[in-house]
Structure 1
Amino acid sequence: MIQKKNETLGTIMAVCGGICWGFSGCCGQFLFEAKGAKAPWLVSLRLLFAGLIMIAVGFSLHGRRNMDILKKKADTLRLLLFAFCGISLCQFTYFMAIEASNAGTATVLQYLSPVLILLVVCFREKRYPGWLELAAIFLSLLGTFVLGTHGNIHTFYITGNALFWGLAAAVSSVLYNMIPGSLILRYDIYQVLGFGMFFGGVLMCVLFRPWEYELIWDTETGAALISVIVIGTAVAFGLYLQGVSMIGPLKGSILASVEPLSAVIISVFWLGTSFAPADFLGFGMILGAVLMLTAAQGKMSDPI
């Protein structure tokens, strides 16, 4: 009975974490459309202040040991590589995709990253994809085609700018997932993400000087910005990671697919974003490919 309650609670927490990520993307879309904000401004502030929040959480959990990740030169260099080429690039391309399209489309396109990771893994392991993996690759490509053209090769229903940044977000998400390497295994996630976000935020502030941007400042702007920083980072990661610790990473990765679904639903009902039936078909194909890869991963990890 207790085990079942823990699994139920873990599932709810993981789903809520994914919804928080989707809501964060929609808050970014709201700032772009209604308040005149720009992606470089938002990403700079999000990384900087979200990093500080996660570092504070790390200190509350580990005390002085939270600084251990900065004591070894090799770990520090990998952390900086992750900060600059991983998380900063990932966040920048993602919010640029939202600015060029909408939160739902950008989030779904970013979810092509598991397919790209599969290709990298197959290249490293010098093997061909399995039949389920091949089916997932085909389905993801077909979904991207349908999303961009609605099945008509002579017409594009998504701008070239939006498609470029969406695919760039998928590629940068691969870097975000692969660069940390063993850091994730040897240090707490709040240490890796906290310092990674903070250092990335410092770099973004130096490059883009967010204090020079002009936008509409009011209560709504402040609330949306706080939501992106707090709900989309500290709350989302806290809920999702705690949920995964209770239900396992395989089920957690499946439930993470609620992020693009929530981004689409919230953008429709809150921001009035319109999607054609072909858009939903493309979304479904891409998310279906992700679920197929998750199933393939589960089969490979099952004991013989």
Structure 2
Amino acid sequence: MRNGAAAGLWWAVISAAAFGVSGPFAKSLLEIGWSPGAAVGVRIGGAALVLLIPVLIALRGRWTALRGSALTLIIYGVTAIALCQFFYFNAVQRMSVGVSLLLEYLAPVLIVGWLWARSRRAPRRLTAAGSVTAMLGLLLVLDLTSDERLDPIGVIYGLAAAVCLAVFFLMSAKADDGLPPLVMAGGGMVVGAVAIGVMGLVGIMPFTFEFRDVTLAGWQTSWLVPVLGLVLISTVVSYFTGILAARQLGSKVASFVGLTEVMFAVLASWLMLGELPGPIQLLGGLLIVGGVVMVRVDELRTPADGVPPLNRANDVEPVPLP
């Protein structure tokens, strides 16, 4: 492996691990009384402040491109950042971090269905098999035969996060944006922070804060620890390393490695919160991840007839996962 590709692989793994700890950090705040809106607002607002200066530097000489992409940036900031995190944190409030993230990662399967409906052209066999595998995994994650049922509202929030993540993937694959990845990420954070502030003021996303100690990995610590973790590790570090990975690996390989976020999230929630999905749910999680991997592998294949697969996206540098 070339040095650049090896470095890119490490950046991608670091990015996935940094994203993976966002759920445990957020849940520690939710458990002491923070509302999901407050956790999202602090995470996105804090990251927007940290990234503001780098974004302004990156925009030198590119203000025209920013004006031309304003609508894209607004949709991205509101849907892929603000609402995606809001739905995910609401799911985490009602269910385990691992189950919530597994539901969110059904996004690639939703994209297959959307593209199939839009183009009226059936996906290729490997993509179809991956979609079916992921849906079987979803049934196991929901564990419908268990006496201990998942919170149905939490499941709805998890699936809503999957829809927002699907929007993120579709927007990240657009090749005509003209905005650098850092501007798309930082600008989206600013838009998302404004959207969260407005929703908080009108009561759609209420803010409730509790400034007392939280429990992480069995230790009592200040509420500032998960707040700093959410802002600096799970947002700033994860986005920055994700951009580096995308530049050195390309979007397809970088997003493929990004699937390890599920593994890191389950591991982090076990170590930091003592949460671990049951055996049936873990098997379902493996099927979901396996199905998504099959879909992604199909994206990397080049058809003999030269026609791109149904779910293939342009190989552009994406903004890292939200």
Q: Tell whether the structures are fold-level matches, with TM greater than 0.5.
A: yes
Larger CA deviation: 176-185 vs 103-112:
176-185
Cα distance between partner residues in 2 of 1:89 and 1:255: 24
Query: Does residue 76 in structure 1 map to residue 78 in structure 2?
Result: no
8 Å Cα contact 1:97/1:166 also seen in 2: yes
- Offset, 1:193: 2.1
Asked if the contact 2:22–2:230 (Cα under 8 Å) also holds between the matched residues in 1, the reply is yes
Alignment partner of 2:142 out of 148, 158, 172:
148
Query: How many corresponding residue pairs?
Result: 296
Q: 1:126 & 1:285 partners in 2: Cα distance?
A: 27
For the residue of structure 1 that corresponds to 2:5, the secondary structure is: helix
Measure the CA separation in 2 of the matches of 1:45 and 1:303. 49
Q: Is the 8 A contact 1:82 1:196 kept in 2?
A: yes
How far 1:156 sits from its partner (Å)? 5.7
CA distance in structure 2 between the aligned counterparts of 1:192 and 1:70, rounded to whole angstroms: 9
- Over residues 85-143 of structure 1, what are the superposed CA-to-partner deviations in whole Å (9 max), with x where a residue is unaligned? 33221111111111111221111111100011111122222201211111111111111
Match of 1:258 among 257, 260, 263: 260
Give the alignment partner of residue 197 of structure 2, picking from 199, 202, 205: 205
- Report the equivalent of 2:3: 5
**Mapping for residues 123-138 of structure 1, pairs under 5 Å:** 123-138=117-132
Amino acid at match of 1:43: V
Given the two structures, how large is their TM-score scaled by the length of structure 2? 0.84
Compute the displacement of 1:181 (Å).
Answer: 6.3
Q: How many Å separate the matches in 1 of 2:66 and 2:248? A: 29
1:180 CA displacement = 6.0
Identity of aligned residues (%): 24
Instruction: Name the CA shift for 1:162/1:192 in 2 (closer, same or farther; >3 Å).
Output: same
Q: TM-score, normalised by structure 1?
A: 0.88
Corresponding residue number in structure 2 for 1:53: 50
- Aligned CA RMSD, in angstroms, stands at 2.4
CA distance in 2, matches of 1:184, 1:45: 31
| Further displaced range: 116-125 or 13-22 | 116-125
The structure 2 residue matched to 1:25, chosen from 13, 23, 42, is 23
CA distance in 1, matches of 2:192, 2:19: 19
Q: How does 1:270-281 map to 2 (within 5 A)?
A: 270-281=272-283
CA distance in structure 2 between the aligned counterparts of 1:303 and 1:57, rounded to whole angstroms? 44
| Cα distance in 1 between the residues matched to 2:261 and 2:54 | 23
Q: AA paired with 2:101?
A: T
> What does residue 36 of structure 1 align with?
33
Unpaired stretches in structure 2, ≥5 consecutive residues = 214-220, 307-322
- Decide which structure has greater helix share: 1
CA contact (8 A) 1:93 1:168 kept: yes
Task: Report the CA distance shift for 1:289/1:186 in structure 2 as closer, same or farther (over 3 A).
Answer: same
SS in 1 for 2:276: coil
